[in-house]
């Protein structure tokens, strides 16, 4: 063999060069496509699949929650005879024009009962003497401050920011009296 044959390229014509370049591009792309099909189990779209209907896709893409303004809610009187749980909208329920114990009970039912009856988010249950004892021991001032400013998962004023501080204190006194 001569020295020139050892250093000669296998590609001798422009046609061979173009073929090698095209294969160098097409071959890796084909490998990637085949691997993608293998990894996804192939491409098969069933047009009759109920999960692909416009309604089901829209339902899956629907936001989890929506913004509801207090001005958009119907008056509280509409809830009374409808059998609807008023605690669901406790954050925006206005205080009734009642007075004294009725007013405190109304505020409690609208703003506090949802968590303090079920014990949601660690709220001490109404009437649970063991849960309320350490809180009562800290004094009314600490209870008032927690109720007015909020504490842990409890929002300020039980989520009903329209309440006066005196209304919140009256409800706290009511809840404490239930736990004694």
128 CB contacts (<8 Å, ≥6 apart)?
119, 179
Burial of 178 (0-12, 13-18, 19+ CB in 10 A): middle
Band the pLDDT of 144: cuts 50, 70, 90.
confident
pLDDT of residue 64: 81
**Is residue 118's pLDDT more than 70?**
yes
pLDDT of residue 88: 43
154 beta partners? 151
**Is residue 139's pLDDT more than 70?**
yes
**Average of pLDDT values for 107-112?**
82
Using only the alpha carbons of the chain, give its radius of gyration.
35
pLDDT of residue 5: 65
**Average of pLDDT values for 5-13?**
80
pLDDT of residue 23: 93
Which class would CATH give 86-179? Answer: mainly alpha
Enumerate the domain spans of the chain: 12-44, 86-179
């Amino acid at each position: 063999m001569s020295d020139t044959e050892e250093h000669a390229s296998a590609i001798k014509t422009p046609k061979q060069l173009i073929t090698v370049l095209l294969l160098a591009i097409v071959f890796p792309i084909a490998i990637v496509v085949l691997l993608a099909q293998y990894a996804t189990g192939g491409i098969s779209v069933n047009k009759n699949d109920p999960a692909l209907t416009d309604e089901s896709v829209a339902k899956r893409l629907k936001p989890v929650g929506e913004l509801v303004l207090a001005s958009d809610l119907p008056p509280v009187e509409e809830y009374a005879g409808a059998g609807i749980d008023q605690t669901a909208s406790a954050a925006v329920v206005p205080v009734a024009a009642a007075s004294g114990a009725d007013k405190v009970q109304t505020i409690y039912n609208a703003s506090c009962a949802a968590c303090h009856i079920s014990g949601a988010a660690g709220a001490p249950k109404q009437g649970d003497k063991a849960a309320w004892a350490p809180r009562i021991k800290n004094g009314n001032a600490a209870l008032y401050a927690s109720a007015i400013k909020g504490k842990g998962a409890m929002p300020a004023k039980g989520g009903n920011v329209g309440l006066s501080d005196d209304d919140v204190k009256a409800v706290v006194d009511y809840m404490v009296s239930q736990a004694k």
